[in-house]
Structure 1
Amino acid sequence: MSSAVPSTPPWNVQQLPRADGSVFLVTGGNAGIGYFVAEQLSATGATVILGSRNPAKAADATASIRARIAGARVRTVRLDLADLSSLRTVAESLEVERLDAVVHNAGVALDDPPREETGDGHELMFGTNHLGHFALTRWLMPLLSAAPAARVVSMGSFAAKSERLDLDDLQSRMDYRPKRTYGRSKLAQMYFGVELDRRLRAAGSTVASVVVHPGGALDSLTPSRPPIHVRTAGARLSAAPAALLVQGKHAGAWPAVRAVLDPVVLGGQLWGPRVLGLRGEPRREPMWNHLTDSSVAARLWDASCDLTGVDPGTVACAVPG
């Protein structure tokens, strides 16, 4: 009988590895899944920076994490993904020499018309969820390249699985339907994560890009973190049947947290919940068929360069790995 010990212990969402000395940025870290990504990463001893456009909400999130995790190294930075010109100064305002991971989590989801635009004239969800993260990556790339093996983790959505991009109408000008436009904005973000890794590999970069999604994550199944999120007893009871299929936002954070911390996770992979992609512990899953279409990914990349005026790939080539 062989008594060989596995080289890496099984992943345990309740017992995360230490990451003392590491620096992680979580966009939209003040609420929802992003908050729980930040809270869980803070328990590893890393410095966690919450990117948020709302200083008051960011302060609440920071206080909540510090109250739950003794000695948490958590702070905030002002970040507005809908304002592309503001993003070039974000890297400097982090006041760090390197960045070990960024979790591209922040997202806008509109339920009703009318169509809205960012100050730059982009459809709000596409402009924030995809173009904002695309441009931010360009400005963070020098800090990411300064780390030994940094990771860009893009938070996709199960809503993107049934969508397809319309490359002739990325801004939903011709046919705007909020839920579909949201799903497509997250699909664009996932294409970006896949294509970014392809370009990083070609450039010989030490940075890896991983795509994750949270499965089905409901507020009603999420533990309370007042004042950020308060779950009533009624909401908990009414959501109980749904717990067979989906989960809370604390569990929706697990794939992103594993993608940041686990050396088993590699660039170019997709990670999501274990059970039907909707709930459970994080696992690697096969790349969705439409995300393997490199021609769509390349066309989206070129369009994103045109719309933002930056190219994250050229920085990866320019910075020594």
Structure 2
Amino acid sequence: MSSASQSRLWDVHRLPSAEGRIFLVTGGNAGIGYFTAEQLAATGAVVILGSRDAAKAKAAITSIRSRVCGAHVRHLQLDLADLSSLKTAVDRLDLDQLDAVVHNAGVALDDLPRRETKDGHELMFGTNHLGHFVLTQWLAALLSAAPAGRIVTVGSFAARSERLDLGDLQSTQDYRPKRTYGRSKLAQMCFGFELDRRLRTAGSTVLSVVAHPGGALDSLTPSRPPVHAATPGERLRALPTGLLVQGKDAGAWPVVRAVLDPEVQGGQLWGPRVFGLRGDPRREPVPSHMADPAVAARLWAASAELAGTDPHLGFR
């Protein structure tokens, strides 16, 4: 599909109805996850915010309801850093089917020391990648029960410049916070592409799609108090950078399109139109280091072993 036809067919401000569908957004209480949830709620769908912090989730729900008349939104207690809790969390959904999950929640650290989850995994890799890897297993039956289930993994522009160290996935030998974060997002994206290959092999109706927000800054993001508030001074100082990047409301656009657009196919990558940093959502070529099936297979096997989970993730 050409970029011209893409923009003609998709309007980020006039989304198609998704009434009757159910979406789960991990980390839906803040940042890209919040705006993804707000935009999806405006389609008439039921939106579930997966969050470990009930107070922040309540604030996000209040904000969404104040902006989306009749919004159907609720909270699911979800802690991706605690792998043993995820089956119980999914059981609490009490659903017969789930139309899509957005794997968005994440931890980003920028200082020392190295930290670990309660399971003993490096915090960013353990939460951002392993948590979603295991969550996918417990959601498999619900996604398969939907007419056209989708798994949308939210990656990061930071992953483009990173490469996985398969011998040190948890940065035990050389921990650098920003690099470890980028690698955790790269692991997520590799997983998203490999998952779709395996779903196609299994003949599943579920699609796995990867999206990223480009350059999305808090200072360019519209206020949603108490979820987010930027001062006039912060917004004024950030205006020049708006030529290159955008706010987190626009950063959610590729994610929302990956969830809703019936033309989206499994194994695709969606991001902002302008240099992958800002603008309307478009399909992007998948970088070779994210699409290498040999690397992805090794990452998959290591992830299943570290998480102690079924390597088929429930899709057979």
TM-score (norm 2): 0.97
Q: Displacement of 1:311 after TM fit?
A: 2.9
The one-letter code sitting in structure 2 at the alignment partner of 1:123 is E
CA contact (8 A) 1:91 1:143 kept: no
Within 5 Å, which residues of 2 pair with 1:39-188?
Answer: 39-188=38-187
1:14 equivalent to 2:5? Answer no
Alignment partners' CA distance in 1, 2:307 and 2:214: 29
Report Cα offsets for 1:212-256 as digits up to 9, x if no partner: 110000000000000010010000100000000000000000011
Q: Displacement of 1:313 after TM fit?
A: 2.5
TM-score (norm 1): 0.96
CA contact (8 A) 2:59 2:227 kept: yes
Cα 1:47–1:269 change in 2 (3 A) is same
CA contact (8 A) 1:109 1:125 kept: yes
Look up the match of 2:206: 207
Look up the match of 1:3: none
The one-letter code sitting in structure 2 at the alignment partner of 1:164 is R
Alignment partners' CA distance in 1, 2:298 and 2:195: 13
1:276 equivalent to 2:275? Answer yes
CA contact (8 A) 2:301 2:311 kept: no
Unaligned runs of 5+ in 2: none
Alignment partners' CA distance in 1, 2:313 and 2:212: 27
The one-letter code sitting in structure 1 at the alignment partner of 2:282 is R
User: What SS is found at the alignment partner of 2:13?
Assistant: coil
Cα 1:8–1:31 change in 2 (3 A) is closer
Q: Displacement of 1:289 after TM fit?
A: 1.4
Q: Displacement of 1:92 after TM fit?
A: 1.4
Unaligned runs of 5+ in 1: 1-5
The one-letter code sitting in structure 2 at the alignment partner of 1:138 is Q
User: What SS is found at the alignment partner of 2:95?
Assistant: coil
Look up the match of 1:308: 307
The one-letter code sitting in structure 1 at the alignment partner of 2:148 is A
The one-letter code sitting in structure 1 at the alignment partner of 2:302 is A
Report Cα offsets for 1:63-119 as digits up to 9, x if no partner: 000010010000000000000000011221112110000000001000101000000
CA contact (8 A) 2:151 2:208 kept: yes
CA contact (8 A) 1:90 1:139 kept: no
Cα 1:237–1:10 change in 2 (3 A) is same
Cα 1:246–1:84 change in 2 (3 A) is same
The one-letter code sitting in structure 1 at the alignment partner of 2:23 is F
User: What SS is found at the alignment partner of 2:10?
Assistant: coil
RMSD: 1.2
The total of aligned residue pairs comes to 312
The one-letter code sitting in structure 2 at the alignment partner of 1:101 is A
Deviating runs (4+, > 4 A) in structure 1?
6-9
Alignment partners' CA distance in 1, 2:291 and 2:58: 40
Alignment partners' CA distance in 2, 1:314 and 1:23: 21
Look up the match of 1:221: 220
Alignment partners' CA distance in 1, 2:255 and 2:6: 22
Alignment partners' CA distance in 2, 1:68 and 1:314: 37
The one-letter code sitting in structure 2 at the alignment partner of 1:78 is Q
Alignment partners' CA distance in 2, 1:107 and 1:310: 20
CA contact (8 A) 1:196 1:313 kept: no
CA contact (8 A) 1:221 1:248 kept: yes
1:251 equivalent to 2:250? Answer yes
Cα 1:302–1:7 change in 2 (3 A) is closer
User: What SS is found at the alignment partner of 1:26?
Assistant: strand
Cα 1:49–1:221 change in 2 (3 A) is same
CA contact (8 A) 2:134 2:313 kept: no
Identity of aligned residues (%): 71
